[in-house]
A and B are shown apart, each in its own frame.
Chain A
């Protein structure tokens, strides 16, 4: 038996962020990861543009080998009829590119970019805070609330009203208030549905869209960054940073159960029977697995188990990786710079919605929505949605290839290797409940002070000593390090106060 300050369960990117930040504060931290390598699903996600700068700086990730490539063209929207549209990091340049598609939309783009930056800037501010207790605000909640209130006021009356109106909107409605060309609308709105159970016409997809812009430079085109060396390089850098700070990172180590003593979590037992005691245990697994699988049912109690069971975690996105023998030629994208960012199959809003419809009936879209990146020009990594939980892997790959081939003729012949993870495959390999890439749906009902559920949004779960530091916590999924960073702050605070 050993004794540590903090155990972090799960060596995904958020777990490593929490571990690194706590170790830097001088705490004795151990990370236990079931798989043989760290990183969790971050090794699957195509882009890391939303990784927080504060995390990069605090953990000195650059000195541990992290290099982010930020392409000038952040998103290339492939169109059925016409050349692809380039969305540049520079809004003026995008506006110029839109001229050939629709002059009116081109004229609206810069103002839209400014508008979404104002709205998402406020969300970024919210994403840094620990959600307040809604029943009984603590003095710190009041201070935070006043600060947030000041930021809200700073938006000005019109933008403030717009914020409250925009968040619960459907992304389709939100985007259509600015643009009329269907392909432009589809490309912009689809990001409000990425990896979710929402279609562009679903209420709350505007929130997801705005939140996507809330980290990094954001803006209408969305921040895009690729990790040099592939996504694994990010988790390597994070693990190196955690170790350099003094944390121990143990891979190939599965957790059996949380130890509950006198109403609080005091440690964990590992699959081999080994026991580790700690003052705090932070789980970067999804909240459902944490509360229902790791926590003893009696200790959890029926109410917590019922609430945990109802956390919405139905995954509908598949990850498709293709090894290619050469660089695919996308129609109208002769310049390699055009393929340096996210490549999005951009159909009209209704087509995206139709793809989403399949998910409601547990089916796979006939024409799925695809967001892809090309790494080293010969590896294509795509999020494909919406995919039935146990869809046949080959069928999903064929669907994705078929869809992309419409824009890149001859792609199929280039494919030398393929890897497909359906929601069921993701759950089996990475352990997230439902195979949801964001751990829990990012809908309005699992947001901010009620993510994953009301009363557990402050990184403290239902039992003293147990914390949540993964994507299931505020501010949610994707590669941001946000939950990991916020949770580390709260854990450190509790430990300093001797809780």
Chain B
């Protein structure tokens, strides 16, 4: 046994959620340590210099849902957080394009070019979704009850939600049910007829999931777009200065200033338990750390199957853990460019390159991309969500040069016919993505100085997300709310006393949001206050 050190709480994983948890606990005066496996902090919200001189948001690349209360509570502005707005979505098409921006008047005129009724519906739809987002937002802060028992204390938190549902105007109640159950495509069909518009809007419903835009249950993610908007911190989407790693570093800085200890290159080998409760962790180095509380921001598979010794959890619980679906479906291609790409449908390097560039020409295109993946093949023509961060944050590359981030779907983790994500498969994926871009922005290949392709397997290995699922578990209906990350254990607690979940695996799930990390910390602090805390 090497040295032994005692903490009030140990946080496994230095991703943004783990860091948020650490900061909140430290703020309450607890002695906490964050243990990060890698040499860099941030988990999936990480900035790295992949090509000399070019810094990339390697995985997660935009921010919209970061909870404003976290920004306030931790004073993240003072710790360097700066969000740069990302204006608009540009959908290149054959000989034409669809370009929506945050300015409603401009977007209205653009949509009218396609369909007058769509232009009018767009306004109404936007208002409706903002209302809806306002209603749904509190759900992100609720601790879900265990649906297996009717325990009044747990269900009481849903009371205000039920009341506000009953008080909703009728059409919003209607929309709420639809948003929770419909496919993104069906939902949008009610308002719009323009195919590229529907395809591009529905794309936000499938990001990170193994679902198609016509799969039921994909509509509700459409709301996310509007949730960012109502919080007022910044509009819709933005990119953090310095990449998404900038968010993590700001939170880490806040946590440290509140007294939290943060250790990198400190991979945890095991969560130690005695008599069914947590006593600490052992690092791969053999070092042992002691604490009465361990909060894991790793996903459920890593936490329960890898870090806990066999025999600690009962079979029923483990069955549920194994049933939990990950099924990573996305890949990331990061390019270092010597100049800006030009799209044949709108030549020049104007404002349209400053926002998101969406390769989503039609609903059928999106759906066929999914069909390929369903049967275990990367999409022959994938959906790509592209941004050029250097246009809003030039410091990320040498002067005059650019970084380009391509989020790619679908690239299924499990390949058909026994194929594996080897170097050849990764190269093929990269070529498919470049071919797809080349069709609309010819000459992109000549601009490439450096390239990084991350397959789902790479994401799993590099960042530690099981099966490369960017949300730490599929955001499908049956894996939300009281079923996340294990049915009946959505209250951030686990069957092991003192072991908590605080990452995207827990409610309300993934995205650069920080909500799970914050609620987990508040729950633990609440329990401590009520005296159920041993130390």
Residues of chain A having any CB pair with chain B under 8 Å? 134-136, 149, 153, 156-158, 160-162, 164-169, 173, 177, 198, 201-204, 303, 306-307, 310, 312, 350, 353-354, 357, 360-361, 443-445, 447, 450, 453-455
Contacts and interface: CB of A to CB of B under 8 A. Distances in A.
Contacts of B168: 135
Nearest to B165: A134
Interface string B148-182: 11100000000000000110101101100110111
A445 B186 contact: yes
Interface of B: 146-150, 165-166, 168, 170-171, 173-174, 177-178, 180-182, 186, 189-190, 211, 214-217, 316, 323, 325, 364, 367, 371, 374-375, 476-478, 482-483, 487-488
Given A134-B165, A135-B173, A164 B371 contact: no
A493 B28 CA distance: 59
A160 B211 CA distance: 26
Contacts, number: 108
Contact of A444 (B211, B217, B364, B374): B217
A165 B489 CA distance: 13
A350 B375 contact: yes
7 contacts: A135-B173, A156-B148, A157-B146, A157-B148, A307-B174, A453-B174, A455-B174
Nearest to B482: A164
B147 A160 contact: yes
A134 B181 contact: no
Interface centre among B165, B217, B316 (most CB of A within 10 A): B217
A361 B364 contact: yes
Contact of A450 (B146, B177, B215, B488): B177
Contact of A157 (B149, B216, B364, B483): B149
Contacts of B371: 357
Contact of B477 (A203, A303, A306, A360): A203
A134 B166 contact: yes
A160 B367 CA distance: 34
B483 A165 contact: yes
B148 A444 contact: no
Contacts of A135: 165-166, 168, 170, 173
A445 B216 contact: yes
Given A135-B170, A161-B148, A169-B477, 13 more contacts: A157-B146, A157-B488, A161-B146, A164-B487, A168-B476, A169-B476, A198-B216, A203-B215, A203-B217, A350-B374, A357-B371, A360-B214, A445-B182
Contacts of A168: 181, 216-217, 476-478
Contacts of B482: 161, 164
Contact of A445 (B178, B375, B488): B178
A203 B150 contact: no
Given A157-B149, A168-B478, A444-B477, A204 B375 contact: no
Contacts of B478: 164-169, 203
Nearest to B166: A135
B175 to A, nearest CB: 9
Contacts of A443: 181-182, 216
Nearest to A361: B364
Given A160-B147, A168-B478, A312-B186, A201 B217 contact: no
Interface centre among A156, A167, A312, A444 (most CB of B within 10 A): A444
Nearest to B219: A445
Contact of B181 (A164, A353, A445): A445
B5 to A, nearest CB: 38
Interface centre among B168, B215, B216, B371 (most CB of A within 10 A): B216
Nearest to B416: A350
A404 B90 CA distance: 49
A153 B214 CA distance: 35
A443 B211 CA distance: 16
Nearest to B189: A310
A204 B181 contact: yes
Nearest to A155: B148
Contacts of A204: 181, 216-217, 477
Contacts of A455: 170, 173-174
B177 A203 contact: no
A454 B168 CA distance: 13
Contacts of B476: 168-169, 203
